[in-house]
Amino acid sequence: SSSSKSSGADPVMSKQEMQCYDGTDFPWSREVEQHLNDLFHLSKFRPLQLRAINLTLSGEDLFLVMPTGGGKSLCYQLSAVCSKGFTLVISPLVSLMEDQIMYLRSINLPAVTLNASSSKEQAKTVMAGMTDPKAPFKLIYVTPEKIAKSKLLMSRLEKAYNASLLSRIAVDEVHCCSQWGHDFRPDYKLLGILKRQFPKVPLLGLTATATSSVLKDCEKILCVPRPITLTASFNRINLYYEVRTKHSDNESSINDIASLIKSRYQDQSGIVYVFSQKDAELVSSELQKKGILAYPYHANMNPDDKSQVHRKWTSNKIRVVVATVAFGMGIDKPDVRFVIHHTISKSIENYYQESGRAGRDDCPADCIVYFGFSDIFRISTMVVMENVGQQKLLQMVDYCQNVERCRRSLMAVHFDEVWDDEDCNQMCDTCCHEKDYTTVDITQHARQVVQIVELAASMDEKLTPLKLVEAWMGKGPAKRRKMIQTTMLSRLQAEAVIVRLLLQGYLREDFSFTPYTTYFYMKLGRKASLLKNQTHTLSMKMRTVEAGSAVVSICWPQYYPLLYYMVAYRPPCTIKTFCL
């Protein structure tokens, strides 16, 4: 299913006008169809591809928003073949350009690149070809830096433009323009020069993740007023989304991952995303010990090793890549059956992108994320300096802990997509296991937590999230003895309550820097004082059975009335002396 919409308040084109562009009665239609089959060896278009091609061939400026793997490149590659001269493609990564050029040459579509590693000789050929009316190549890939820095390139483009040989400009990963996007590249900021210098050339911006505010920003930066925006649905119907709780010991999640790979994904290929280079090494060696063909991949490996891992994985000689986010752009293996996140992503957009590498062949695939309490603060440390980094992280945390809403619906909100819960079709764990969740009153728990945080503040003591959990559970080291109420909740439940309080503003994170690291502390949030009001209540839905291999016994009120009594209404005599 697909939909289209304009990013502007009033659409540039009506729905009907837009639908005309799905037609096959344009002057170029026969040629388009023929090249699709004979050159690209594809039988039919995916949703919105033909519309995008017809629009750009009609000379319209266009933003095409389509999920990763949706087939955006075809829209400018096929248009390039059907136009005079050449298409200029701006692409953020040299490796990405090289992959594409390799592919294009394999189908006999001449394409070249100009980047920092091009030789003088290559550069010369490319520059000369730009003004050759015979158009020796149909696509020229350049990095945004080249546009910003090479006067020679700009003057060649000018010549080509004047000779009507610059047929189209494609800006791939166009969200890189905006610092509100997840992947800001300063050099993209300078690309406005293209539309100013070459106003008559249609521009095609492509991206997989862009909210309307990011797109608005890109319009301004690229100087394309009111482009038509085509947005394909982000709902990947063949992906099953699941969140599993990660225990504080690292081992059980690795065991869990290993047994999944050995049973459910036997002989299948996938990715395990981890937080750091160290984790990549560690997790992959643990998986290897358990007899799984897993290899690490991270930014600190030398380029040869990286491309070797990539190649071997693509050809199924390696089953699992244990990777940091460095394993990203340009990964286009169709039969990835699972993407497991050993640690949560830093934002929902990132999660969507990373998990979206599963199931590109449209066959069923799983996206599982392990959600651990301490990981929240590990990632906080990393994103604390980013604009809205913290806010985005908390949205990801909300995605993980929220079992009241369909996982897909939470993603749809992010892509400004109208969502109907039926569209999930039981393909996420919350829709699938609705019955395994119960609503629990956590007011008393919240009061206990707030009391501990208040106490720490009154003693001028900094309370890390870990210390808070341990104090609440009665496990803190003896330092100063004070009266607090400890909890009977399991560790995972205690952590879940604290996360909930953080997300809802009863707690907040505070941080301090040292030259080596950033420390996070728990402070009272803006809503904490509401708990002083005896009528204020707070509840949350919780899993009664833990997902994953380890089934944790239920200890929620509905099941154990006596325990509930103990936890919620413990008489004052059971208040323990306790240390923070």
Sites of contact with Zn ion (CB under 5 A)? 406, 408, 424, 428, 431
Q: Is the dihedral of CA 47, 52, 54, 57 positive or negative?
A: negative
x/- site string to ligand ADP, residues 426 to 465, per CB under 6 A? Answer: ----------------------------------------
Write the burial class of residue 134 (CB in 10 Å: 0-12 exposed, 13-18 middle, 19+ buried). Answer: exposed
Token readout for 511 is 């941080």
Among 12, 39, 74, 237, binds ligand ADP (CB under 6 A): 74
Among 18, 66, 109, 230, binds ligand ADP (CB under 6 A): 66
Instruction: Give the other-Cβ count within 10 Å of 380's Cβ.
Output: 20
Q: Is the dihedral of CA 318, 319, 321, 327 positive or negative?
A: positive
Task: Output 36 or 201, the one with its CB closest to ligand ADP.
Answer: 36
Alpha carbon 524 to chain centroid distance?
Answer: 30
**Secondary element (H or E) of residue 20:** helix 15-20
Task: Output 143 or 430, the one with its CB closest to Zn ion.
Answer: 430
The reply on whether position 42 binds ligand ADP by CB under 6 A is yes
x/- site string to ligand ADP, residues 376 to 395, per CB under 6 A? Answer: --------------------
Task: Output 431 or 455, the one with its CB closest to Zn ion.
Answer: 431
Write the burial class of residue 417 (CB in 10 Å: 0-12 exposed, 13-18 middle, 19+ buried). Answer: middle
User: Facing residues of 535 across strands?
Assistant: none
Catalytic residues: 72
d(CA 372, CA 36): 46
CB of 53 to ligand ADP, least distance (A): 11
Task: Output 401 or 486, the one with its CB closest to Zn ion.
Answer: 401
Question: Residue 431 touches which of Zn ion, ligand ADP, none (CB < 5 to 8 A by kind)?
Answer: Zn ion
State the angle between helix axes of 389-401 and 491-503 in degrees (0 to 180), rounded to the nearest 10.
130
Question: Residue 424 touches which of Zn ion, ligand ADP, none (CB < 5 to 8 A by kind)?
Answer: Zn ion
Question: Residue 428 touches which of Zn ion, ligand ADP, none (CB < 5 to 8 A by kind)?
Answer: Zn ion
Q: By CB under 6 A, which span of 69-77, 121-129, 297-305, 403-411 interacts with ligand ADP?
A: 69-77
Task: Output 195 or 408, the one with its CB closest to Zn ion.
Answer: 408
Among 31, 33, 46, 508, binds ligand ADP (CB under 6 A): 46
Among 11, 47, 71, 389, binds ligand ADP (CB under 6 A): 71
Q: Where are the alpha helices (DSSP H) in 315-388?
A: 348-355, 373-383
CB of 237 to Zn ion, least distance (A): 11
Task: Output 411 or 449, the one with its CB closest to ligand ADP.
Answer: 411
Closest by Cα among 59, 49, 71, 1 to 27: 59
Question: Residue 92 touches which of Zn ion, ligand ADP, none (CB < 5 to 8 A by kind)?
Answer: none
Residue 425 has φ and ψ, to the nearest 5°, of: 60, 40
Instruction: Give the other-Cβ count within 10 Å of 529's Cβ.
Output: 12
User: Facing residues of 86 across strands?
Assistant: 166
Q: By CB under 6 A, which span of 41-49, 225-233, 428-436, 478-486 interacts with ligand ADP?
A: 41-49
Strands 111-114, 139-142: pairing is: parallel
Closest by Cα among 317, 380, 387, 297 to 344: 380
CB of 67 to ligand ADP, least distance (A): 7
CB of 357 to ligand ADP, least distance (A): 10
CB of 75 to ligand ADP, least distance (A): 8
Write the burial class of residue 326 (CB in 10 Å: 0-12 exposed, 13-18 middle, 19+ buried). Answer: middle
Task: Output 406 or 531, the one with its CB closest to Zn ion.
Answer: 406
CB of 523 to ligand ADP, least distance (A): 42
The reply on whether position 70 binds ligand ADP by CB under 6 A is yes
Q: Where are the alpha helices (DSSP H) in 223-338?
A: 250-262, 277-289, 303-314
Token readout for 85 is 């001269």
Query: Which conformational region is residue 307 in: left (phi greater than 0), alpha (psi within -120 to 50 degrees), or beta?
Result: alpha
The reply on whether position 72 binds ligand ADP by CB under 6 A is yes
Task: Output 101 or 507, the one with its CB closest to ligand ADP.
Answer: 101
Query: How many residues make contact with ligand ADP (CB under 6 A)?
Result: 14
Amino acid 438 reads T
Task: Output 68 or 253, the one with its CB closest to ligand ADP.
Answer: 68
Residue 168 has φ and ψ, to the nearest 5°, of: -165, 150
Query: What's the full length of the chain, in residues?
Result: 580
CB of 205 to ligand ADP, least distance (A): 12
Question: Residue 357 touches which of Zn ion, ligand ADP, none (CB < 5 to 8 A by kind)?
Answer: none
Among 6, 7, 68, 390, binds ligand ADP (CB under 6 A): 68
CB of 166 to ligand ADP, least distance (A): 22
CB of 426 to Zn ion, least distance (A): 7
Question: Residue 42 touches which of Zn ion, ligand ADP, none (CB < 5 to 8 A by kind)?
Answer: ligand ADP
Question: Residue 258 touches which of Zn ion, ligand ADP, none (CB < 5 to 8 A by kind)?
Answer: none
Task: Output 362 or 420, the one with its CB closest to ligand ADP.
Answer: 362
d(CA 489, CA 497): 10
Q: Where are the alpha helices (DSSP H) in 131-272?
A: 144-149, 151-162, 192-197, 212-222, 250-262
The reply on whether position 332 binds ligand ADP by CB under 6 A is yes
CB of 45 to ligand ADP, least distance (A): 5
Query: Distances from the Cα of 305 to the Cαs of 116, 297, 299, 309, 325, in angstroms?
Result: 22, 8, 11, 6, 16
The reply on whether position 73 binds ligand ADP by CB under 6 A is yes
Closest by Cα among 112, 134, 135, 111 to 123: 112
Token readout for 51 is 């519309």
x/- site string to ligand ADP, residues 284 to 323, per CB under 6 A? Answer: ----------------------------------------
Q: Which residues bind ligand ADP (CB under 6 A)?
A: 42, 45-46, 49, 66, 68-74, 208, 332
